Amino acid sequence: MDIHEYQAKDLLTRFGVQVPRGGIAYSPEQAVYRASELSGERWVVKAQIHSGARGKAGGVRICSNEQEVADAAQWMLGRKLVTHQTGPQGKLVSRLYVEEATNIAQEIYLGFVMDRKLERVVVVASAQGGMEIEEISEQEPESIIRSVVDPAVGMQAFQAREIAFSLDLDPALIPQAVKTIMGCYRLMRDMDANMVEVNPMVVTKAGEIVALDAKVSFDDNALFRRPEISELRDKSQEDTRETFASDNGLNYIGLDGQIGCIVNGAGLAMATLDMIKMAGGEPANFLDVGGGASPDRVLMSFKAVLNDPKVEAILVNIFAGINRCDWVAEGVIRAMEELNLQIPVVVRLSGTNVEEGQKILAESSVNVIATDTLAEAADKVVGAWKDASLKEAS
């Protein structure tokens, strides 16, 4: 789960990280009021969306007077901001963050990520801040600093000092840098975050270290024990398909194809996507229905897949262990009847109670294409999709 910049900064302050003063605004009038509250001569108006590269899309503006603040807010609010991370559909700007401008002397990149291969938190830093980490690694690979945190003892102050010295900071700033680095790590550890990114972390001309921008992502599987984090969720920034699936306990990722997939197990789901591609089709989603797929859960999976208007065929691929093929078959029939499906549906069942499941499908009145192997299922669903597309075109 992602959160907004202003929410990330609020969390950082709880762990001793210094951030610029600012306030949230939902209208141009409120943005001007926030600027007057902050006083000063310059302010930064920032669109709050779950995406980086906002500045390149016009979502970050430096303003020198209240009229400029109002104009920037008027332009941003209600607009769909398109960046290279949002895709062409963009993301709606419904709130702004107005903060005091900062006199920057130096920009630094600081990130904490979970390395799945190492099973460790890895700190990534660079003296070349203000850019995406991909750009930094491509343009200044020698500037990348990495430090692995041992989970048995957590991050130690000496590691933070090593990182701070590697960033060529003024020696007088090392204690501040250590406090900032340790604070970011504690946020990641104590709040079950997957990533904490401060880009840029800046040294001001007044000699202070400040988190100028921040991005934090959380482990969805840990939200049950972090209700205060769950409350920060903004569903308007999420893919509506993924939001529906998540709210119903399904593991779903939307893709750009036309063939919907309902599969149990992440590995089998990935293999199913590959087989559809090999057969000449394009998958519309990754959906892992999980274990113990009752007829109700299968029905909900169909609804999740059909939330994507591009879906023109569906492949159900179940290898039942904990699951039962007869339950899945009942769920498929129920979905086709209740949802009045007119698109091709291909079902491949294997494992527990497979004979019962196949019998239920064979004796039903719904038009299901049953297969025995994944390769055959992929060929059948791609063929049925192409045939249906040709009929519609003609």
> CA–CA separation, 358 vs 363, rounded Å?
9
> CA–CA separation, 324 vs 273, rounded Å?
22
Alpha helices in the chain (DSSP H): 5-14, 28-38, 66-76, 133-139, 157-166, 174-190, 227-230, 240-247, 266-278, 295-306, 325-338, 354-363, 374-393
The reply to whether 356 belongs to the active site is: no
Phi/psi region, residue 119 (left: phi>0; alpha: psi -120 to 50; beta: rest), is left
> CA–CA separation, 207 vs 82, rounded Å?
35
The residue written with tokens 């999709």 in the block is 385
Phi then psi for residue 235, to 5 deg, are: -65, -20
Contact (Cβ atoms closer than 8 angstroms) between residue 305 and residue 262:
yes
* 199 assigned to a ligand binding site: yes
> CA–CA separation, 234 vs 213, rounded Å?
19
* 37 assigned to a ligand binding site: no
Residues near 5 by beta carbon (within 8 Å), at least 6 away in sequence: 46, 48, 97, 213, 214, 215
Phi then psi for residue 290, to 5 deg, are: 85, -175
Provide the greatest CA pair distance for the chain.
79
The residue written with tokens 């048995």 in the block is 152
> CA–CA separation, 393 vs 83, rounded Å?
34
Residue type, 266: A
DSSP letters for 132-183: -HHHHHHH-GGG-EEEEEPTTT---HHHHHHHHHHTT--GGGHHHHHHHHHH
DSSP letters for 228-262: HHHTT--GGGS-HHHHHHHHTT-EEEE-SSSEEEE
The catalytic residue among 97, 109, 185, 252 is: 109
* 46 assigned to a ligand binding site: yes
The catalytic residue among 5, 197, 312, 330 is: 197
The reply to whether 197 belongs to the active site is: yes
- Extract the annotated binding site for ATP: 46, 99, 102, 107
- Just list the catalytic residues: 109, 197
Q: Which residues are annotated as a binding site?
A: 46, 99, 102, 107, 199, 213, 264
Binding site per annotation, positions for substrate = 264
- Enumerate the known binding-site residues for Mg(2+): 199, 213
